[in-house]
Amino acid sequence: MWGAISLITVASIVLSFSGEGSFSFSLGSIFIIGATVCWGLENNCTRKISGKSTYEIVTIKGIGSGAGSFIVAMVLGESIPRFSYIALIMMLGFVAYGLSIFTYIRAQKTLGAAKTSAYYAIAPFIGVALSTVFLKARFTLMFIIALVIMIAGTVLIVRDTLIHSHKHAHSHLIIHTHDGTTHTHTIVHSHDHVHVINEGKHGHTHSVEELETALGHRGAL
């Protein structure tokens, strides 16, 4: 997971690089860093409550974000748009913000904050791809390099998301008779198991020789 986050971070840096001027640090850069830090903190806080009703969370976040944006606009002296535009603005907000936050929170509930944020980092590449379709923009060499790195990071995330490896404990009951007496033995052991997406039911078999060997080792201990 950390490898995936590192690759996606590098890809984002490559994508945003535009010459030596990209290394300059300004007051605006501090605001951007502050915004991303707050965004990361907000994502983790949302993850803590993602088990609650997604509809309620989206409603509360929408009211908070909308009220905050309205206050900032009033402080900056912005004028209220004409009523004919309000319906269009609300439709755009419903799709671009409402549905976006809704699916984002659902993803956090399933994947966690880190993986969801990593997937979300693919957004700039989708934006660039759409710009080539609608704005006839051309792919640059830096974009292709960043895209390759981003794909590598995404593959790691997908692998980490779908494939889980952990140990499972199993017990085997052995009943055998010798010298006229029936003996019952229980052998308990664990083994590594890999599953994709869901655990499901799984099992495994052992040969008689393997079980007899395990039973002999236990007796020796």
- The pLDDT tens digits of the residues spanning 121-170 come to 777 778 777 888 888 877 778 888 888 888 888 788 777 666 655 555 66
Element (H, E) at 202: none
pLDDT exceeds 50 at position 196: no
Q: What are phi and psi of 202, to 5 degrees?
A: -150, 160
* pLDDT score, position 75: 93
Contact between 47 and 189 under an 8 Å Cβ cutoff? The reply is no
Using DSSP's 3-state secondary structure scheme, residue 192 falls into strand
Query: How far is residue 217's CA from residue 210's CA, in Å, rounded to a whole number?
Result: 11
Model pTM score? 0.52
